[in-house]
């Protein structure tokens, strides 16, 4: 779900050979009706469990990556965070930096996921890919993490309904701008499912993008309703964007992606 100004990706360029990147078992993922994980796909639970795993092992999610690092974005930036990156996305942002998550992934059992979360990290980010594709089973994971006292962040592209997200989950929702190539989705349909503490993120790669973000914010009064992030696409002129933000007189937060500055723009799993 991270979205930066990386070289333009052709839809499907990160797909597994021979797969249709858009329709790859999509219904199976959404419905949770696919076959269970194969034995060889399962990764044994680690010994660093910070969560009491449920005896329920039949439920599972399709996962791209699991890793611990510092949260790089938003109002939780700088805090240690465990990332659960779900596999599969049904849109194709031009500057997506996680195309490997568009397809593929490995089935992980619920117990494996819970066992992966370290004791000492209280912040867990669910990202993708597009996590809302797996919301049916994701809700169970939300319940488990919440019961274990973890704070849950959900990062979503904003193009799928957030109606089924529990209120204790902190949502970070994108609104896609023209340079993404995915600006035509009805993002406004989700405003009613967001809390005042939730974040809306605009990734800005051009002046046209910023002007469109400004229009979204003004027309829907977003800056007084939610936390608004203006996130420069990596490599953009930061001083120019800062000046646009100041000139707009909007109460929004310009953010830099911390992990890109610590580990470099091409580092993965950070
Ligand atoms: S919504 Fe999908 S294509 Fe867009 S940045 Fe996120 S993972 Fe990439």
Q: Over 50: is that where the pLDDT of 263 sits?
A: yes
Q: Over 90: is that where the pLDDT of 13 sits?
A: no
The whole-number pLDDT of residue 152 equals 98
pLDDT classification of 53: cutoffs 50, 70, 90: very low
Q: List, as one string, the DSSP characters of 13-28.
A: TTSPTT--TTTTTHHH
98 close to ligand 1 (CB < 6 Angstrom): yes
DSSP 3-state of 263 = helix
21 close to ligand 1 (CB < 6 Angstrom): no
92 close to ligand 1 (CB < 6 Angstrom): yes
| CB neighbour class for 257 (10 Å; exposed up to 12, middle 13-18, buried from 19) | buried
Ligand 1 atom closest to the CA of 97, numbered from 1: 8
pLDDT classification of 12: cutoffs 50, 70, 90: very low
User: 63: CA distance to ligand 1 center in Å?
Assistant: 15
Ligand 1 atom closest to the CA of 95, numbered from 1: 5
Q: Over 70: is that where the pLDDT of 39 sits?
A: no
What digits encode the pLDDT tens for the residues 204-233? 999 999 999 999 999 999 999 999 999 999
Q: Over 90: is that where the pLDDT of 66 sits?
A: yes
Is-cis flag, bond preceding 129, omega within 30?
Answer: yes
The whole-number pLDDT of residue 178 equals 98
Length of the chain, in residues: 270
User: 182: CA distance to ligand 1 center in Å?
Assistant: 9
The whole-number pLDDT of residue 265 equals 82
DSSP 3-state of 51 = coil
The whole-number pLDDT of residue 63 equals 96
- Does residue 1 contact residue 128 with C-beta atoms inside 8 Å? yes
The whole-number pLDDT of residue 261 equals 86
Architecture in CATH of 26-261: Alpha-Beta Barrel (3.20)
User: 38: CA distance to ligand 1 center in Å?
Assistant: 27
What digits encode the pLDDT tens for the residues 184-208? 999 999 999 999 999 999 999 999 9
What digits encode the pLDDT tens for the residues 77-110? 999 999 999 999 999 999 898 899 999 999 999 9
Q: What mean pLDDT, rounded, does the chain reach?
A: 85
65 close to ligand 1 (CB < 6 Angstrom): no
63 close to ligand 1 (CB < 6 Angstrom): no
Tell me the mean pLDDT in the region 58-69: 87
pLDDT classification of 34: cutoffs 50, 70, 90: low
Tell me the mean pLDDT in the region 117-135: 97
pLDDT classification of 270: cutoffs 50, 70, 90: confident
Sequence spans of domains, the chain? 26-261
């Amino acid at each position: 779900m991270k979205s930066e100004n990386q070289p333009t990706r052709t839809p499907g360029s990160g797909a597994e050979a021979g797969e249709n990147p858009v329709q790859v078992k999509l219904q199976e993922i959404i419905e949770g009706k696919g076959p269970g994980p194969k034995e060889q796909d399962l990764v044994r639970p680690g010994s660093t469990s910070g969560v009491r795993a449920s005896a329920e092992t039949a439920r599972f999610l399709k996962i791209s990556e699991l890793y611990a690092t510092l949260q790089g974005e938003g109002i939780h930036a700088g805090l240690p965070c465990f990332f659960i990156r779900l596999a599969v996305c049904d849109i194709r942002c031009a500057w997506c930096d996680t195309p490997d998550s568009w397809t593929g992934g490995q089935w992980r059992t619920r117990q494996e996921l819970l066992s992966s979360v370290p004791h000492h990290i209280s912040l867990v980010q669910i990202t993708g890919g597009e996590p809302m594709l797996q919301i049916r089973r994701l809700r169970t994971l939300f319940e488990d993490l919440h019961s274990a006292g973890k704070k849950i962040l959900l990062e979503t592209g904003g193009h799928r309904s957030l109606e089924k997200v529990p209120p204790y989950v902190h949502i970070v929702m994108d609104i896609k701008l023209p340079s993404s190539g995915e600006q035509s989705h009805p993002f406004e349909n989700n405003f009613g499912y967001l809390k005042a503490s939730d974040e809306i993120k605009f990734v800005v790669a051009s002046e046209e993008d910023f002007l469109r973000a400004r229009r979204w914010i003004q027309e829907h009064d977003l800056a007084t309703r939610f936390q608004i992030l203006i996130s420069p696409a990596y490599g953009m002129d930061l001083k120019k964007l800062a000046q646009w933000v100041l000139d707009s007189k909007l109460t929004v937060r310009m953010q830099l992606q911390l992990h890109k500055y610590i580990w470099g723009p091409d580092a993965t799993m950070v």
